[in-house]
Structure 1
Amino acid sequence: MKLLESTRFEAINSALSIKTGDSKIFGRIESYSCKMAGNDKQLYKRFNSEQGVTPHDLQALSPPQTALGLSPGRCQYRSISGDEDGPLCDTISRKTLFYLIATLNAAFHPDYDFSDAKSHEFSKEPSLQWVMNTVDSNLSATAGEQYRAMRAQLWAAVDDEISMNDCDIYSYNPDLASDPFGEDGCLWSFNYFFYNKKMKRIVFFTCRAINPIYPLESGFSSDFAMDEDEDETY
Structure 2
Amino acid sequence: MKLLPESSGFDAINNALNIETVDGSIMGRLESYSCKMVGQEKALYKRFHSFSGVSDLQALSPPQSMAVMEPSSPHTLPKSSQSSGGDEMSPLEDKIDRKTLFYLISTLNAAFYPDYDFSNASSEEFSREPSLEWVMRAVQRQMMAVARTEFMSVEASLWAALDAAICLRESEIYSYNPDQTSDPYSENGCLWSFNYLFYNPRLKRIVFFTCRSVSQYSASPHESTLIGDTNMDFEEED
Q: Which residue of structure 1 aligns with residue 47 of structure 2?
A: 46
Q: CA deviation at 1:81?
A: 7.1
State whether residues 17 and 26 of structure 2, in contact with CA within 8 Å, keep that contact through their aligned partners in structure 1: yes
- For these two proteins, the number of residue pairs brought into alignment is 215
Counterpart Cα distance in 1 of 2:127 and 2:18 = 26
Residue 41 of structure 1 aligns to which amino acid in structure 2? K
Q: CA deviation at 1:23?
A: 2.1
Moved runs in structure 1, 4+ residues, more than 4 A? Answer: 80-83, 221-224
> Is 1:22 the equivalent of 2:23?
yes
Q: CA deviation at 1:69?
A: 8.6
SS in 1 for 2:64: coil
Residue 149 of structure 2 aligns to which amino acid in structure 1? E
Residue 155 of structure 1 aligns to which amino acid in structure 2? W
Alignment of 1:94-133 (within 5 A): 94-133=98-137
Pair 1:69–1:89, CA change in 2 (3 A): farther
Aligned with residue 219 of structure 1, among 210, 224, 230: 224
Pair 1:87–1:22, CA change in 2 (3 A): closer
Residue 28 of structure 1 aligns to which amino acid in structure 2? R
Q: Which residue of structure 2 aligns with residue 63 of structure 1?
A: 62
Q: Which residue of structure 1 aligns with residue 4 of structure 2?
A: 4
Q: Which residue of structure 2 aligns with residue 176 of structure 1?
A: 180
> Is 1:92 the equivalent of 2:96?
yes
Counterpart Cα distance in 2 of 1:143 and 1:34 = 33
Q: CA deviation at 1:184?
A: 5.6
Q: Which residue of structure 2 aligns with residue 74 of structure 1?
A: none
Counterpart Cα distance in 2 of 1:154 and 1:222 = 17
Counterpart Cα distance in 1 of 2:226 and 2:92 = 38
User: Cα deviations across residues 147-201 of structure 1 (Å, max 9, x unaligned)?
Assistant: 1001111110000100101111000001111001112632210000000000000
Ranges in structure 1 where 5+ consecutive residues have no aligned partner: 71-79, 225-234
Q: CA deviation at 1:207?
A: 0.5
Q: Which residue of structure 1 aligns with residue 162 of structure 2?
A: 158
Q: Which residue of structure 1 aligns with residue 141 of structure 2?
A: 137
User: Cα deviations across residues 78-126 of structure 1 (Å, max 9, x unaligned)?
Assistant: xx7779xx99421000000000000000000001000000000000000
Counterpart Cα distance in 2 of 1:129 and 1:111 = 33
Q: CA deviation at 1:216?
A: 3.8
Residue 33 of structure 1 aligns to which amino acid in structure 2? S
Backbone CA RMSD of aligned residues: 2.7
Q: TM-score, normalised by structure 1?
A: 0.83
Q: TM-score, normalised by structure 2?
A: 0.82
Counterpart Cα distance in 1 of 2:160 and 2:208 = 15
Q: Which residue of structure 2 aligns with residue 185 of structure 1?
A: 189
Q: CA deviation at 1:222?
A: 8.8
SS in 2 for 1:171: strand
Q: CA deviation at 1:221?
A: 4.5
Pair 1:68–1:53, CA change in 2 (3 A): closer
SS in 1 for 2:102: helix
Percent of aligned positions that are identical:
58
Pair 1:8–1:69, CA change in 2 (3 A): closer
State whether residues 111 and 219 of structure 1, in contact with CA within 8 Å, keep that contact through their aligned partners in structure 2: no
Pair 1:87–1:21, CA change in 2 (3 A): closer
Q: CA deviation at 1:219?
A: 3.0
Deviates most, 195-204 or 184-193 = 184-193
